[in-house]
Amino acid sequence: MIKQIKIFVVVLVAQCCVGLTFAADDTDFNLVNASKIERVISTGGSISEWLVAIGGQAQLVGVDTTSLHPATLQTLPSIGYQRQLAAEGVLTLQPQILFGSAEMGPPPVLEQLSAAGVHIEKLSVDAELAAVSQTVRRMGELLGHQQQAESVLQDFIQAMTVQKTQLEQVQSAAPRVLLMFSAGQGNPLTAGSNTVGDWLIKQAGGENLALHQGFKALSSESMLALNPQLIIVADRHNQGLAALESMLLNAPALRHTDAVQNRRVIAIDPTLLVGGLGPRIPEQVAQLIAAFYPQLPTQVAVNN
């Protein structure tokens, strides 16, 4: 009861202080309100990155725990994990818009926020260019940064087009690849279909050996049988060679794969795998292409 009363009070304060003139579920919420938007919260790593890229960081008053890049976001108040939001923590920051994906929740909390006058904007984070275009343009529209949003989006699309053209020169077979995500405990997880990791591998011209859906831990026998030619390592706690050593401690069988034997292991930033395709993706794809196909000429610099 005390907690409910406390949330109710925060809701009333938020409604008074924010002074919104639109309904949170209003389908006409668009350019009319852009000039009024001064307080925004963003959840989801890629969504927060795009918000900064289109010039909206000054409007940010809080982010979730997956929003780690750029580093300046880590100085903002945290509202917790995107799937476990609390109404009180969000409303204390008096946001006008809460950006997130379908993962954002739980639903009862979103209903409380909507009732308090916060516009809930769920954006697509599917690993496909159409979703990127839709998300970036929608954020630009809502925040009044349409021109900059379109500019960074076109840079993104152009970079991906250049990379596709570059891969058309490849005559050799695609390298067999596994992307391993390690959280420091047990066997690392492998990125299967419908993940950003899978998209990265294929976009860079590789063959993803993990055919399952989402992330899944494979047995030592399975990893040896797959015998990847190249391994991509993403580790929450370690970078570079330390990430590889951490992974091998938990999955020593990988030492016998072609990838490790031939030193074809790449470490990437795990934040790239959170919440869709962010603005750093073209640069990462370029690095993977160079690793997959060292015989190709150096790619033209990617705009970010």
Tens-place pLDDT, residues 112-137: 999 999 999 999 999 999 999 999 99
Please enumerate in sequence order all residues whose Cβ is within 8 A of that of 27, keeping only pairs 6 or more positions apart, or say none. Answer: none
| Domain 7-155 bears CATH identifier 3.40.50.1980 | yes
Q: What CATH number labels 172-292?
A: 3.40.50.1980
Boundaries of every domain in the chain: 7-155, 172-292
Q: Quick one: pLDDT at residue 54?
A: 98
- Please indicate whether the domains covering 7-155 and 172-292 agree at the CATH topology level: yes
Collapsing DSSP to helix, strand or coil, 117 comes out as: coil
pLDDT at position 290 is: 95
Which candidate, 205, 210, 168, places its Cα nearest to that of 293?
205
pLDDT one-digit tens code per residue, 130-167: 999 999 999 999 999 999 999 999 999 999 999 999 99
Q: Mean pLDDT in the chain?
A: 86
Please report the pLDDT score of residue 27 as a whole number.
45
Q: Over the stretch 226-242, which tens digit does the pLDDT of each residue have? A: 999 999 998 877 666 67
Instruction: For residues 171 and 246, give the distance between their C-alpha atoms in angstroms, rounded to a whole number.
Output: 35
CA 22 to CA 37: how far, in whole Å?
A: 12
> pLDDT band at 245, cuts 50/70/90?
confident
